[in-house]
């Protein structure tokens, strides 16, 4: 086949995969999910989910890309032609996530620009609403927020610049965007644990509540968190692995990526909860009431806490640079996953595909830059994470477990890897992982119809939730039906 793009080295690939995995989700999502689901005891279901679904599926996604030298749609097509559609579905979900992920990064740029003036001091919630020009509900579109628009343009321009020449530049950028947030977070952690009240905060995070382990919701959350955090089910890891030579290690890379991601998430909890403990003590309210998930943590609660510390502007700037460097390598990994899929099919140049994708992403992302953007972001995010990823993980297991043959793929993996995996992997891919995912899916759907998500109006959930899911499936079917371009040597 004609020359395929290649990573400069194995560390470049590993860093890029870790960069994709470690993202905004590690900093705000993991600590909150852990806190709500048994604190320290949550580590048990989390590690089990990592071992039973995270690592086996990561090995699967890596080996698909590397074995077939194609991004997700092409690799699944090689397994069986109709499966190409699963690949486009994965890329559709990833693409949709990139639209709003870039908007969250736009907020970070705005906050970074404001770090030195600290304009959020008086009323952080009001400041956040003002930056977003937030309206009262998804039905009130409002107007586009200019600061968010500027941040969005900066984000997409940066993504374009990083991926326009393929993975060589990606490999260089991640040598900065992976270690830098780790170092900054270490500094924030040191600052955090030396603040008064930090110990109470950490006690909240880590005190185990073993009764949570008997609750099925806890287990569901553990699986969902593992998927989101490892960037599984979006077609990214397969695309990244397709840029490795056919004879490169798989298992060791998968273990390193997963463990680095889990370790970072656990560590981030210390930085987050020590500061929350401090905030609770200095404002005299219990830790419970300052703990909220979602954007509220990064853009309301954390800024409040930082504004109370000495050297507030420096700490705030450090915090938002941490978020930006955490986010950017996750954001461009999604875009690269999609661009790789498109290029495999039609043989278009990297820079043209990347450019068109970024402009499209910017335009569609404008929806999330309006006054109602936060509501739509919340709805779309919920559906993509709860349905997109779980369904795709399930279908990937079925495709390999029941159609390609786990033994065949495992023989290949063991032939090229640093260490061998046993029959346990076959059992996971064929039975345990799909059963766990299928169960998560059914439970999710039942819950969805019982309680409207976050009390949003029904029409908004139909449009932003099921409507977006249906659109992605339709587009995936359409692209699958289109003829691809022939390449030399095929
Ligand atoms: N893994 C990233 C995080 O933890 C999120 C992400 C999801 C990245 C999907 C890419 C694709 O934040």
Q: Answer whether 326 contacts ligand 1 (Cβ < 6 A).
A: no
The residue whose CA has the least distance to atom 7 of ligand 1 is 231
Q: Answer whether 229 contacts ligand 1 (Cβ < 6 A).
A: yes
Q: What is the pLDDT of residues 163-218, one digit of tens each?
A: 999 999 999 999 999 999 999 999 999 999 999 999 999 998 888 989 988 887 78
Please report whether residue 54 resides in a domain: yes
The residue whose CA has the least distance to atom 8 of ligand 1 is 330
Question: Where residue 267 sits, what CATH number does that domain have?
Answer: 1.20.1740.10
The residue whose CA has the least distance to atom 2 of ligand 1 is 23
Lookup: tokens for 413 = 């993996």
The Cα–Cα gap between 185 and 325 comes to 11
End-to-end CA distance of the chain: 7
Please report whether residue 102 resides in a domain: yes
3-state secondary structure (DSSP) of residue 317: helix
Q: What is the mean pLDDT of residues 23-46?
A: 87
Q: What is the pLDDT of residues 124-158, one digit of tens each?
A: 888 999 999 999 999 999 999 999 999 999 999 99
Say if residues 90 and 439 touch (Cβ distance below 8 Å): no
* Ligand 1 centroid from CA 189, angstroms: 22
Q: Answer whether 334 contacts ligand 1 (Cβ < 6 A).
A: yes
Q: Which atom from ligand 1 is nearest to the alpha carbon of 22?
A: 4
Q: Is the pLDDT of residue 486 over 70?
A: no
Q: 3-state DSSP helix/strand/coil percent for the chain, to nearest 5? A: 80, 0, 20
**Which of 1-5, 257-261, 301-305, 318-322 shows the lowest per-residue confidence on average (mean pLDDT)?**
1-5
CB atoms under 10 Å from CB of 5, counted, come to: 15
Lookup: tokens for 317 = 């700037």
User: Which are the contacts of 50, defined by CB distance < 8 A and separation ≥ 6?
Assistant: 226, 258, 262
Q: Which atom from ligand 1 is nearest to the alpha carbon of 327?
A: 12
Q: Answer whether 253 contacts ligand 1 (Cβ < 6 A).
A: no
The residue whose CA has the least distance to atom 11 of ligand 1 is 231
Please report whether residue 337 resides in a domain: yes
Confidence (pLDDT) at 489 = 46
Confidence (pLDDT) at 490 = 45
3-state secondary structure (DSSP) of residue 292: coil
What percent of the chain is modeled with pLDDT above 90?
69
Q: Answer whether 228 contacts ligand 1 (Cβ < 6 A).
A: yes
Q: Is the pLDDT of residue 230 over 60?
A: yes
Residue with tokens 């040597």: 489
Instruction: Check residue 4 and report its DSSP letter.
Output: P
**Which of 14-23, 420-429, 450-459 shows the lowest per-residue confidence on average (mean pLDDT)?**
450-459
Q: Answer whether 20 contacts ligand 1 (Cβ < 6 A).
A: yes
- Of 46, 93, 185, 229, the one to substitute when testing ligand 1's pocket (max ligand atoms within 8 A of C-beta) is 229
The Cα–Cα gap between 176 and 314 comes to 20
Per the structure, the count of domains in the chain is 1
Q: What is the pLDDT of residues 305-354, one digit of tens each?
A: 888 888 899 999 999 999 999 999 999 999 999 999 999 999 999 999 99
Average pLDDT of the chain to the nearest whole number: 91
Please report whether residue 134 resides in a domain: yes
* Ligand 1 centroid from CA 334, angstroms: 8
The Cα–Cα gap between 148 and 359 comes to 16
- CA quadruple 94, 339, 100, 34: dihedral positive or negative? positive
Confidence (pLDDT) at 47 = 93
Residue with tokens 């937030």: 134
* Ligand 1 centroid from CA 31, angstroms: 15
The Cα–Cα gap between 370 and 123 comes to 22
Say if residues 73 and 91 touch (Cβ distance below 8 Å): yes
Query: What b/e string do you get for 445-465 counting C-beta neighbours within 10 Å, with b at 16 or more?
Result: eeebeeeebeebeeebbeebb
* Ligand 1 centroid from CA 26, angstroms: 9
The Cα–Cα gap between 337 and 354 comes to 11
Query: What b/e string do you get for 311-332 counting C-beta neighbours within 10 Å, with b at 16 or more?
Result: ebeebbbbbbbbbbbbbbbbbb
Q: Answer whether 389 contacts ligand 1 (Cβ < 6 A).
A: no
Please report whether residue 2 resides in a domain: no
The Cα–Cα gap between 72 and 238 comes to 6
Q: Answer whether 337 contacts ligand 1 (Cβ < 6 A).
A: no
Q: What is the mean pLDDT of residues 452-457?
A: 88
Confidence (pLDDT) at 147 = 95
Residue with tokens 């930006």: 324
Tell me which residue range forms the domain holding 231.
10-481
Please report whether residue 3 resides in a domain: no
Confidence (pLDDT) at 395 = 94
Q: What is the mean pLDDT of residues 285-289?
A: 75
Q: Could you give the angle at the alpha carbon of 449 between the alpha carbons of 443 and 453, nearest 5°?
A: 95
* Ligand 1 centroid from CA 230, angstroms: 7
CB atoms under 10 Å from CB of 9, counted, come to: 10
Q: What is the pLDDT of residues 381-430, one digit of tens each?
A: 889 887 888 889 999 999 999 999 999 999 999 999 999 999 999 999 99
Q: Is the pLDDT of residue 50 over 90?
A: yes
* Ligand 1 centroid from CA 236, angstroms: 10
* Ligand 1 centroid from CA 197, angstroms: 31
Q: Answer whether 178 contacts ligand 1 (Cβ < 6 A).
A: no
Say if residues 390 and 437 touch (Cβ distance below 8 Å): yes
Q: Is the pLDDT of residue 2 over 70?
A: no
User: Which are the contacts of 475, defined by CB distance < 8 A and separation ≥ 6?
Assistant: 88, 92
The Cα–Cα gap between 17 and 336 comes to 12
Please report whether residue 4 resides in a domain: no
The Cα–Cα gap between 76 and 84 comes to 5
Q: Is the pLDDT of residue 293 over 70?
A: no
Confidence (pLDDT) at 217 = 79
* Ligand 1 centroid from CA 256, angstroms: 17
The Cα–Cα gap between 371 and 445 comes to 29
């Amino acid at each position: 086949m004609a020359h395929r793009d290649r990573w400069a080295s194995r560390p470049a690939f590993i860093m890029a995969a870790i960069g994709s995995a470690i993202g905004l989700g590690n900093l705000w999502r993991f600590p909150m999910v852990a806190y709500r689901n048994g604190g320290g005891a949550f580590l048990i279901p989390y590690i089990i989910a990592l071992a039973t679904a995270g690592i086996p599926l990561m090995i699967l996604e890596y080996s698909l890309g590397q074995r077939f030298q194609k991004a997700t749609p092409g690799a699944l097509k090689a397994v069986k032609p109709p499966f190409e559609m699963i690949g486009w579905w994965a890329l559709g979900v990833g693409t949709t996530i990139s639209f709003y992920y870039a908007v969250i990064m736009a907020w970070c740029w705005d906050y970074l620009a404001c770090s030195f003036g600290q304009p959020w001091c008086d009323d952080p919630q009001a400041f956040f609403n003002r930056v977003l020009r937030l309206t009262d509900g998804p039905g009130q579109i409002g107007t586009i927020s200019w600061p968010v628009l500027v941040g969005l343009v900066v984000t997409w321009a940066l993504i374009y610049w990083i991926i326009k020449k393929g993975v060589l530049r990606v490999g260089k950028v991640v040598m900065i965007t992976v270690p830098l947030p780790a170092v900054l977070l270490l500094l924030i952690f040191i600052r955090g644990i030396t603040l008064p009240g930090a110990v109470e905060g950490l006690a909240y995070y880590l005190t185990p509540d073993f009764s949570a382990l008997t609750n099925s919701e806890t287990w569901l959350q553990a699986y969902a968190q593992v998927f989101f955090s490892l960037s599984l089910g979006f077609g990214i890891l397969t695309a990244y692995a397709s840029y490795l030579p056919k004879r490169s290690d798989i298992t060791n890379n998968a273990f390193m990526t997963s463990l680095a991601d889990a370790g970072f998430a656990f560590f981030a909890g210390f930085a987050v909860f020590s500061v929350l403990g401090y905030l609770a003590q200095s404002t005299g309210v219990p830790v419970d009431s300052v703990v909220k998930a979602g954007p509220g943590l990064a853009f309301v609660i954390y800024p409040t806490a930082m504004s109370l510390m000495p050297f507030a502007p420096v700490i705030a700037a450090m915090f938002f640079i941490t978020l930006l460097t955490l986010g950017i390598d996750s954001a461009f990994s999604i875009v690269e996953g999609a661009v790789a899929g498109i290029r495999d099919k039609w043989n278009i140049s990297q820079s043209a595909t990347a450019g068109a994708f970024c402009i499209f992403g910017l335009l569609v992302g404008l929806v999330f830059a309006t006054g109602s953007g936060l509501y739509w972001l919340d709805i779309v995010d919920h559906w993509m994470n709860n349905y997109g990823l779980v369904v795709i993980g399930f279908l990937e297991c079925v495709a390999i477990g029941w159609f390609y043959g786990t033994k065949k793929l495992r023989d290949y993996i063991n032939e090229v890897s640093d260490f061998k995996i046993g029959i346990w992997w076959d059992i996971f891919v064929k039975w345990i992982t799909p059963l766990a995912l299928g169960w998560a899916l059914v439970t999710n759907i039942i819950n969805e119809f019982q309680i409207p998500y976050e009390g949003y109006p029904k029409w908004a959930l139909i449009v932003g939730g099921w409507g977006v899911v249906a659109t992605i499936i339709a587009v995936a079917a359409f692209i699958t039906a289109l003829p691809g371009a022939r390449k030399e040597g095929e």
